[in-house]
A = this chain, B = another copy of it.
Amino acid sequence: VKLKPLSYLILGMLRLGATSGYAIKQLADAATRHFWPTSLAQVYPQLGQLHDAGLIDRRADPQGARARDAYELTDRGQTALRAWLRSYRPTNTPPPLRDEGMLRLFFADALPLDEQLTLIRKLRDSFAAAEQHIRNELEVIPHDPEHAALRYPAITARLGSDSYAYIKQWLTALEADLRDEAAHSSAKGR
């Protein structure tokens, strides 16, 4: 059985205390959606495979008449998770961003200057919203030593919001530069 990043995401979420498939998906939406989006339709089959591979235990855990399966890491699951964390090798190529906004910026030259500036402002607004979005999620993560396992979730969230803030500023500066330049050339033109 070959494990994918999603497999380790599930193992890791179980380690952080999520028990059901549904709960894993909730946690993933709240915390890892930005760098590893996941859907329920992937989680349930994957839980089955991890169980078959002996990396997780399953037990029935009904809530009243509502059925629920509770999962737990086995020793082999713990080991597999740690081995994966250790096996990371630096890549020479950057991670793909796959952002349609960036793609549009790449071709912005096809528009007249005022519309180029509009596009840049829209892009900046997107990153500003993204920054705020993660910052809000960050605030609800407890920071006390009792929740030590939540330390890195807080770190990745901070890294995310700081990165988006940086790009936001970058685009703001770009807009100012292009606007100045336009003002100068039109003044020259008279």
* B-binding residues in A (CB < 8 A): 5, 8-9, 12, 15-16, 31-37, 78, 81-82, 84-86, 88-111, 115, 119, 122-123, 125-127, 129-131, 133-134, 148-149, 151-153, 155-156, 159-160, 162-164, 166-167, 170-171, 174
Contacts and interface: CB of A to CB of B under 8 A. Distances in A.
- This chain: copies in complex: 2
Given A32-B106, A99-B35, A109-B152, A170 B160 contact: no
A66 B165 CA distance: 50
A133 B85 contact: no
Q: Is the interface of A mostly helix, strand, loop or mixed?
A: helix
B93 A130 contact: yes
A149 to B, nearest CB: 5
B90 A126 contact: yes
7 contacts: A84-B104, A94-B133, A94-B160, A95-B102, A97-B97, A105-B152, A106-B156
Contact of A88 (B32, B34, B101, B129): B101
Contacts of A31: 106
Contacts of A84: 104
B81 A5 contact: no
